[in-house]
Amino acid sequence: MPVRSLPSNPNLAQLKYQSRDLLKDHAERAQAAAQRIREFHPRFGGATDSEIFDAQLRLSDGQLAIARQYGFPSWTRLKRHIERPTLSDRLDLPHQQRIEDEVFRRAVDLLDAGEVSGLRAHLKRHPHLARQRVVFEGGNYFRNPTLLEFVAENPVRQGALPTNIVELARVILDAGPSQFARNAALTLVSTGRVPRECGVQLALIDVLCEYGADANAAAHAAGLHGEVEALKALIGRGARVDLPVAAALGRTEDARRLLVGASGEDRHLALSVAADLGYVETVRLLLDAGEDPNRYNPVGGHSHTTPLHQAAGRGHGEVVRLLVERGARTDLRDILWQATPADWAQRAGKPEIEALLRGKDAGSKQKD
């Protein structure tokens, strides 16, 4: 799920209260608390709600989860950010301006300026740069990137890419970045708005895969972001068409065939993708197979919401009606903004869907 943003003047005591509130919600077996702990406490990744609720948690567990929910790896790092901030802690600055290492920052400046020969010479003088990482905390992703990951402009830093970005990427790739860096850059490119809008997304996918990036590493993320052309390019470069990928492409018959051997994790992800992208027949297939419409979406797949939130916010009326018919609760609130699916429809300017959901919610309360 997206991480929460710290206020401009964060208060450590208030953050401690938040950790205690999380432990209180855990003790009361609140579904949203289980989802937050599953995503932000490293000990519980992949755990079921029951396993999380049965665990004995201490205050330090709550503080760790809260710190990670704000984009910091530990409570200690969050505390340091508040009490002794450095340049890298300036969350109001673009990422490149937060880089404290002058040699690395010069490489990013050369990349952004489109200076191929200058970047090549800089990497030759400083060969360690291809594998070096910088630290950005307080964000949802791009927390520990290598130089190669800056070619994606994702997160958006300047809103554009140099016209010769593919050649610049080759320069960095020739310098020998790690396999992890190649896969991470491919994922960022495949999910990035700026590479697509600049008309270089597919070319960057090709060059990264040419240099050994694994197309499978980016396929699910591309599907979750609705980057269909990028996903097709990844398939052309060897990505498997599994159940979540079939769901992202609206290939219901392929999804039907793949459903039998799919893992529980892939089924859960496929429902999230299909609801978000509006593929009603694939949603129906997954519900018929027993998927629960009232689970929060999986980690990495709009996990702060349910399928109904996503469908309502996207304006997919058929999917909304199907989910409600199959028992999707209209009163569940998302984890970040505490909004119902009807609130999401309202925010998206979908009055018919909002009215449908508010009517169902009112009817449910009358029965209670």
Residue spans of the domains in the chain: they are 12-85, 95-239, 245-367
Class of CATH domain 245-367: mainly alpha
Q: Could you read off the pLDDT of 252-300 as tens digits, one per residue? A: 999 999 999 999 999 999 999 999 999 999 999 999 999 999 999 998 8
Query: Quick one: CA torsion of 325, 327, 330, 334, rounded to 10 degrees?
Result: -130
Whether the model clears a pTM of 0.85, i.e. scores above it, the answer is: yes
Contact 194, 156 (CB under 8 A): yes
pLDDT in tens, 114-153: 999 999 999 999 999 999 999 999 988 899 999 999 999 9
> What is the pLDDT confidence band of residue 7, given thresholds at 50, 70 and 90?
confident
Q: Do domains 95-239 and 245-367 have the same CATH topology?
A: yes
Q: Report the 10 Å Cβ neighbour count for 327.
A: 10
Beta-bridge partner residues of 146: 133
The pLDDT of residue 300: 83
Q: What is the C-alpha separation between 121 and 106, in angstroms, rounded? A: 12
End-to-end CA distance of the chain: 31
Q: Is the separation of the CB atoms in 294 and 306 below 8 Å?
A: yes
Alpha-carbon torsion angle 175, 181, 186, 192, nearest 10: -110
* Whole-angstrom distance, CA of residue 212 vs CA of residue 233: 15
Domain with residues 95-239, CATH architecture? Alpha Horseshoe (1.25)
Lookup result for tokens 């760790």: 64
User: What DSSP string describes 308-329?
Assistant: HHHHHHHT-HHHHHHHHHTT--
**Cα 177 to the center of its chain, rounded Å:** 23
